Amino acid sequence: MVIEYFLFDKRLGIPIPALEKEWEQYTGNTQQEILFHWEKIRGRIPDRIKELEDMINQKQAQLSNEDNFLKSCELNSDIADLASIINDLWLWYRTNQDVSEKAHF
């Protein structure tokens, strides 16, 4: 089952590839199944990013009205963490796009 080649990353909110062997050691059929499953996951990444951007916008709105310094620091930290997750998601989205494109040739 192809799902065994992916692990859910709680921080990112998506399953990511968790291959135990070198790519070339998988059969062509297994490679295609993995790529097909990854493309379905990859297609959801922009939606996940949008969810995180909405959370950032909410926290920025809270921050603009926050007078408590410690709470402001906490909100800034939360915003930075969310932005880091977005950055990592874009890396996954772009990096694996190259792999998918090569596999279709």
Summarize pLDDT for 11-63 with one digit per residue, the tens: 999 999 999 999 999 999 999 999 999 999 999 999 999 999 999 999 999 99
Which amino acid makes up residue 15? P
Predicted structure pTM score: 0.85
Confidence of residue 105 (pLDDT cuts 50, 70, 90): very low
What does the pLDDT read at residue 95?
Answer: 80
Split into its structural domains, the chain has a count of 1
CA 62 – CA 76 distance, rounded (Å): 10
Q: Is 18:5 a contact under the CB 8 Å cutoff?
A: yes
The angle at the Cα of 41, spanning 46 to 31, to the nearest 5 degrees, equals 135
Which amino acid makes up residue 90? W
Structural domain of 41 = 2-103
DSSP letters spanning the chain = -GGGGEEEETTTTEEEE--SS-GGGS-HHHHHHHHHHHHHHHHHHHHHHHHHHHHHHHHHHHHHT---HHHHHHHHHHHHHHHHHHHHHHHHHHHHHHHHHHHT-
What does the pLDDT read at residue 3?
Answer: 85
